Amino acid sequence: MSANTETGSGEMISLAQYILDRLYEAGVHDLFGVPGDFVLGFFNFLEKSKIKYIGTCNELEAAYAADGYARMKGIGAVSTTYNVGELSAMNGVAGAWAEMVPVVKLTGCPATPHFKKGTLLHHTLGDYEAALKMFKRITVDAEILLDIEKAPEQVDRILTNCLRHSRPVYIGIPSDLVKRMVPKPKQPFKKPEREHSNPQALKEAVSEVMGMLKAAKAPMMIPGVELHRFNLVEMWQGLLETSGLPYATMMLSKSILSEDHPQFIGLYSGARSREGVRKPVEDSDCVLIFGEMLTDFNTGGFSAALKPDRCVSVMRDSVQVSHHVYHEVYIWDFIQALHEEMVASAYKPSLAEPITPAYLTCVHRATHRKQTMFQVDGSKQLTQHRFFERIANFLKPTDIVLAETGSAMFAVAETMMPHGAKFVAQIFYGSIGYTTGAALGTAIAEKDKRTVLFIGDGSFQVTVQGLSTMIKEGVKPVIFLINNDGYTIERVIVDHPYNDVQPWKYAQLVEAFGGGKGIKVSNEGELEKALEVANTATELTFIEAVFDRWDCNESLKAAGRQMAISNELLEKEGEAEAVQQN
């Protein structure tokens, strides 16, 4: 029995209460879900618990919301009924798995006798473990609690693994066990301690990397998503500032530190990067990469010219130096040990070139960083370039900025965030519609901060019901609907009618859903008035911004060309070039 499951005076509580108490102690204070008959008993206990229930319009929205919540709070949870509910949520859990987001998936299951008999009960597939088998592929731990004696220890183990690995987990709760009594734990849930590195491997890894740094003429760092997931940002920042090295981020780790940091040079996306970022990264003779995933969008379609013999890749449980790997070296131990070695050896880099701050190279930056202020041309039709130039000055410190997969994501990625603002996007998994639910989650998690969402019309149509939940819950995000008449991210790959969507009167949806302020803008003067409304709003603000259907930034066009080639979608010579010229 683990320390988490030690029992005390013999007091008993229901299994449902045990699970809810453990969730709350782990950091889940709000739970997203949709009711269904097999989960109603659990929901009856949920209503009386410390955890607030947030009912959503569908299960996919709930899963996306739990993901957004977890990115802010360190853990999130979603609860649905068996099969028909949980399979609708599965895509959201898969995205959390891909991007290392700790989400707890709770499922209300049929009573245990049905599992034993395999009865043809509604919502079932005959095979009562079918959904469990599916979830095991996208969770770090998954269990249906069929044995009441083992259930408490299973719950604690599953939650521990969720936090230890920063991955989703799955707990199935049979309806007849919800009220069954289990021993009340002696101690509150304890978050897992970090594993310890092999001392000799750690020492050798640090020694080799320090040797590379001392010999390098242009060393630099790239922080990654694992720093955020494992709560290591502050530790890494200490190392960064002691080192004096420049750093660039990839899209997954954008805004990991405030983007006005003097050592930050900008966003690196391989060949799609601005020259002021691409050249120092690719010319570096020692690149230290901390916990980043080298995905296609992160690396500009795998165009990153990072020479392996010049790279050190520090991941959760290993350090790769050039072509060899130190196993059992954990990222937290390595950062601390390298920092200590830098201090002990009074390390000072011999940089061949001075650090060029990011605001000199990013595409869209706050106007206070420019020589001239943004000049509004009232009658000028909106263009995405000018729109995001203006948005860069609209954003506030501590804003949580979400950007949907598509033209919004690529444009916001190149927009400099103000001090303290955070960027959220599903860079790796890229499920369209994700950010509507995720924005609900971030707004619930950070009620004292402003959530700002940028989403395209095609993606919005996938998860539009999330707007209703936001209004119901009284959260007040600012939502920018990028209306460019369809799936632009697909159009830049190949232009066919299946990328068109039915035009909606988007700005009127707010009224249809029962609250908030909806505004439609098509020129800069209208946009300016809408931004004034948003800046003083006491309710949800929805701004539909109308653009030409081919208006998007160069990074998205380059991504479209690369995807067209890699997916063998070009039907004739020069088709990609023709698409890009639109």
- DSSP for 188-215, please give it: PPPPPPPP---HHHHHHHHHHHHHHHHH
| Secondary structure class of 88 (helix, strand, coil) | helix
Please answer whether residues 516 and 540 qualify as being in contact, where contact means their C-beta atoms are separated by less than 8 angstroms: yes
> Does the annotation flag 525 for ligand binding?
no
Cα–Cα distance for residue pair 70/93, rounded to 1 Å = 12
Q: Give the model's pLDDT for residue 354.
A: 83
281 is written with which tokens? 């990264």
> Does the annotation flag 298 for ligand binding?
no
Q: Report H helices in 474-523.
A: 488-491, 509-512
Closest CA to 415 of 555, 519, 563: 555
Q: Give the model's pLDDT for residue 352.
A: 78
Please answer whether residues 102 and 70 qualify as being in contact, where contact means their C-beta atoms are separated by less than 8 angstroms: yes
| Secondary structure class of 486 (helix, strand, coil) | coil
467 is written with which tokens? 């707007």
Please answer whether residues 126 and 77 qualify as being in contact, where contact means their C-beta atoms are separated by less than 8 angstroms: no
Specify the DSSP class assigned to residue 505. -
Domains of the chain: 3-185 (3.40.50.970), 199-360 (3.40.50.1220), 367-580 (3.40.50.970)
267 alpha-carbon distance from chain centroid: 17
Q: Give the model's pLDDT for residue 558.
A: 66
Closest CA to 470 of 435, 426, 504, 432: 435
- Half-sphere exposure of residue 104: CA atoms within 13 angstroms, side-chain side: 32
Q: Report, in this order, helix, strand and coil percent for the chain, each rounded to 5.
A: 40, 20, 40
Task: Please give the C-alpha separations between residue 549 and each of 169, 213, 457, 468, 544, in angstroms, as whole numbers.
Answer: 40, 48, 11, 27, 14
Beta-carbon contacts of 254 under 8 Å, excluding residues fewer than 6 positions away, are 267, 413, 417, 423, 425
50 is written with which tokens? 């410390």
* CA dihedral angle for residue 133, residue 137, residue 141, residue 147, rounded to 10 degrees: 0
For residue 374, count CB atoms less than 10 angstroms from its CB and return exposed for 0-12, middle for 13-18, buried for 19 or more: middle
> Does the annotation flag 484 for ligand binding?
yes
Helix axes 59-73, 434-445, angle to 10 degrees: 50
Neighbour tally for 496: CB within 10 Å: 10
Specify the DSSP class assigned to residue 420. T
Q: Give the model's pLDDT for residue 347.
A: 96
99 is written with which tokens? 């991007």
Cα–Cα distance for residue pair 363/361, rounded to 1 Å = 6
What b-and-e string marks burial along 185-217, b requiring 16 or more CB atoms within 10 Å of the CB?
Answer: beeebebeeeeebeeebbeebbebbbebbeebe
DSSP strands (E only) in 497-560: 517-521, 541-546
491 is written with which tokens? 């159009």
Please answer whether residues 14 and 57 qualify as being in contact, where contact means their C-beta atoms are separated by less than 8 angstroms: no
Specify the DSSP class assigned to residue 381. B
pLDDT tens, N- to C-terminus, the chain (582 residues)? 455 656 556 899 999 999 999 999 999 999 999 999 999 999 999 999 999 999 999 999 999 999 999 999 999 999 999 999 999 999 999 999 999 999 999 999 999 999 988 888 889 988 999 999 999 999 999 999 999 999 999 999 999 999 999 999 999 999 999 999 999 999 999 999 999 999 999 999 999 999 999 999 999 999 999 999 999 999 999 999 999 999 999 999 999 999 999 999 999 999 989 899 999 999 999 999 999 999 999 998 898 999 999 999 999 999 999 999 999 999 999 999 999 999 999 999 988 788 888 877 676 665 455 555 678 888 899 999 999 999 999 999 999 999 999 889 989 998 999 999 999 999 999 999 999 999 999 999 999 999 999 999 999 999 999 999 999 999 999 999 999 876 676 666 666 777 678 899 999 999 999 999 999 999 999 999 999 999 999 999 999 999 987 776 766 666 666 677 777 776 554 544 544 455
Radius of gyration of the CA atoms of the chain, in A: 25
Please answer whether residues 110 and 124 qualify as being in contact, where contact means their C-beta atoms are separated by less than 8 angstroms: yes
């209004």: which residue's tokens?
471
Neighbour tally for 170: CB within 10 Å: 25
Q: Give the model's pLDDT for residue 10.
A: 83
250 alpha-carbon distance from chain centroid: 13
Q: Give the model's pLDDT for residue 449.
A: 97
